[in-house]
Amino acid sequence: MPGIVLVGAQWGDEGKGKATDLLSGRVDYVVKFNGGNNAGHTVVIGDKKYALHLLPSGILSPGVVPVIANGAVIDIEVLFSELEALSARGIDVSRLRVSANAHIITPYHRTIDRVGERFLGKRQIGTTGRGIGPTYADKINRVGIRVQDLFDEGILRQKVEGALEQKNHLLVKVYNRRSISVDEVVDELLTFADRLQPMVTDASLELNRALDQGRTVLFEGGQATMLDVDHGTYPFVTSSNATSGGAATGSGVAPTRFDRIIAVVKAYTTRVGAGPFPTEQSNASGEYLRSKGFEFGTTTGRPRRTGWYDAPIARYAQRINGVTDFVLTKLDVLTGLERIPVCVAYDVDGVRSDEVPVSQSDFHHAQPIYREFPGWDEDISGARSFADLPMSAQEYVLALEAMSGAPISVIGVGPARDAVVVRRDLLG
Ligand code: GDP
Ligand code: IMO
Ligand code: MG
């Protein structure tokens, strides 16, 4: 079972880092194929907690080769500071491979992200301010800087010059900021070149060869389906393809090599930043989920918006990604609730819609139609088999499974590495 894709089903923070970590002992490569240090994955191993942003979660497992592939965007300063922080905690980071084709986040991308957001006023997206959108915009505009450019100073200078020509007009005349000189950008990027060079590779070639040799490769998505630039709640999305198709374009490994597509989904829903969220609870229930689930951003520390499970979204994620298995996380957070509402369909201006409406305006108006399930009081964090769960927790999971379009193969019952109920082997 060599090619496995793992993505988020909702608006991010479903627990992808923990799910990757769960599989890492049995995979050879973990590949980050989209996004950059906008991601925040918390992984708990024993009494140690790790927060990963740019690095694939697989870096924590000694047998894994972590790869940052072409579809990701790299802030090199952040890359080295994350590597140093992990090294200082005794993690061997020497195996990291970086695609020569990945794009680089430069200081001007960060500035434009932050100032651009301010200029949007009420239409703000609430980005992480890490320069993600402007870097992908330059990639599509064909004025981006790639990892390989760092090893040819002449080319690098030409490209930075080309990129800054327009941007300095924007920064100075529209945003009222100081202009950025070609030299300061080039000099900063070159300071990292020698350290980066040994990690740089043709990641597509390396990964395809690994698959040819029967190795197992896990493609770990950042962000999630509803934040995907094509399939999410545009424009309130990130700027990359976080869905399973992005694993192919973002790594140079063809879709025919993917054997299993895993989507991680929370037993309720959260979202960071602006945009529609039909099941959001801006009330005591939402506060309960936030405090019990500790729903604060790993990257920006912002409180996450919280709400109930949305089955049409899970079904949508199943369809867009071709999900073969769900990992349902944070079931333990629901313990103690008397009744648990689940959105089964929407009322859109008086008309029932069983699917996520294609029109963004309709989705903004969509009122959830809820079905309520009985809760449970028993502590489930020690459950290790499905039968260990109280009957109403079992019924809740089975109902979600029936509504969501693919088997729920793993259930998370706590943050720790072993706090899971495995119903079906994800790699078997
Ligand atoms: P990611 O971005 O998808 O990797 O998710 P985050 O790491 O941003 O957020 C998920 C949070 O939930 C992390 O703090 C995890 O440690 C935690 N977590 C993951 N699975 C479970 C679970 O089953 N139960 C509980 N209580 N916490 C979990
Ligand atoms: P993980 O991988 C949750 C959100 C931001 C904002 C929008 C665009 O931890 O699940 P960006 O900086 O990407 O241009 O911001 O996307 N966002 C995330 N929300 N989890 C993430 O990553 C996110 N990455 C970006 O809050 O609304
Ligand atoms: Mg996260």
* Closest ligand to residue 17's CA: 1
- pLDDT score recorded for residue 226: 98
What rounded mean pLDDT belongs to the chain? 96
Q: How far is the CA of 229 from the centre of ligand 2 (A)?
A: 11
Question: Would you tell me which CATH number, out of the four given (3.40.30.10, 1.10.760.10, 3.30.980.10, 3.90.170.10), belongs to the domain 3-92+202-422?
Answer: 3.90.170.10
Same fold, 3-92+202-422 and 103-197: no
8 Å CB contact between 326 and 292: no
Band (pLDDT 50/70/90 cuts) for residue 428 is confident
Residues 13-35: pLDDT tens digits? Answer: 999 999 999 999 999 999 999 99
Q: How far is the CA of 106 from the centre of ligand 3 (A)?
A: 23
- Yes or no: is domain 103-197 CATH 1.10.300.10? yes
Residues 375-388: pLDDT tens digits? Answer: 999 999 999 999 99
92 burial (CB, 10 Å; 0-12 / 13-18 / 19+) is: exposed
User: Residue 209 has which token pair?
Assistant: 């060869």
Residues 163-189: pLDDT tens digits? Answer: 999 999 999 999 999 999 999 999 999
- pLDDT score recorded for residue 1: 59
Question: To test the ligand 1 pocket, which listed residue (37, 42, 272, 288) has its Cβ within 8 A of the most ligand atoms?
Answer: 42
8 Å CB contact between 305 and 272: yes
Domain ranges of the chain: 3-92+202-422, 103-197
Q: How far is the CA of 388 from the centre of ligand 2 (A)?
A: 35
Whether the per-residue pLDDT at 298 is higher than 90: the answer is no
User: How far is 309 from 114, CA to CA, in rounded Å?
Assistant: 32
- pLDDT score recorded for residue 300: 81
Active-site positions read 13, 41
Q: Say which DSSP state 426 is in.
A: S
Ligand 1 atom nearest the C-alpha of 413 is 23
Band (pLDDT 50/70/90 cuts) for residue 78 is very high
Band (pLDDT 50/70/90 cuts) for residue 316 is very high
- pLDDT score recorded for residue 292: 97
> DSSP for 255-305?
GGG--EEEEEEESSEEE-SSS--TTB--SHHHHHHHHHTT-B-TTT-PBPE
**Mean of pLDDT values over 317-335:** 98
**Mean of pLDDT values over 309-315:** 98
Whether the per-residue pLDDT at 392 is higher than 80: the answer is yes
8 Å CB contact between 242 and 225: yes
Residues 83-135: pLDDT tens digits? Answer: 999 999 999 999 999 999 999 999 999 999 999 998 888 899 999 999 999 99
Select from 5, 8, 10 the least CA-distant residue to 271. Answer: 10
**Mean of pLDDT values over 206-227:** 98
Give the binding-site residues of ligand 1, using a 6 Å CB cut-off: 8, 12-18, 40-42, 44, 298, 329-330, 332-333, 412-415
8 Å CB contact between 226 and 14: no
* Closest ligand to residue 223's CA: 2
Whether the per-residue pLDDT at 217 is higher than 90: the answer is yes
